[in-house]
Structure 1
Amino acid sequence: MTPAQNGAVTNELIYSVLQKMQGDMSEMKFDVRDLKTRMTMVEEHLGSSIIAISGVNSRLDRMSDRVERIERRLELTDHG
């Protein structure tokens, strides 16, 4: 029976566990980098969407002003 089989912790066992942990850490670093890139893309897309919505709101405000002017000229508003 080897020392590892009878429950003893050997340098080889420690080394193999550390190697596996190092591989796992490298994989996690890659995944975190990928997530950061994706998050940046989401933030940029969100920023573009906010700018587009702001433009639409501005156009709606101008249209609302124009409709109010037309209603006043045609005397379509309530004088309540």
Structure 2
Amino acid sequence: MLKIMVDGPDNLVLEHLQHIRAGMDEMRDDMRDVKRRLTSLEVSVSNLRGEMASLHGDFAGQSGRIDRIETRLQRIERRLELHDA
């Protein structure tokens, strides 16, 4: 009878440890997935930042072209005397 009582708590502790270990294994797998997904998001954000910087450069270039066209148009209007009164 004493042996059964000793085996009982040992088995219970072992069973709890196995459950804890299984839970830890699942958490480890989940963390790997979270890290992989986070890395993917970081790459995507980095790519978006690069694309936005490129767009800012494009807008600056367009603004410069528009300024030059406006200057030329004003010069043409003056020569043709089409300026507003």
TM-score, length basis structure 1: 0.85
State the Cα deviation string for residues 24-78 of structure 1 (Å, max 9, x = none): 0011001111110111111001110110011001100110010001100110012
What is the count of residue pairs matched by the alignment? 73
Cα RMSD (Å):
1.5
* Mapping 1:49-64, distance limit 5 Å: 49-64=55-70
Structure with greater proportional helix content:
2
Which residue type is aligned with residue 13 of structure 1? H
Extract unaligned runs of 5+ from structure 2.
1-10
TM-score, length basis structure 2: 0.80
Extract unaligned runs of 5+ from structure 1.
4-8
Highest Rg: 1 or 2?
2
Equivalent in the alignment of 2:48: 42
Q: Could you list the structure 1 runs, at least 4 aligned residues long, displaced by more than 4 angstroms after superposition.
A: none
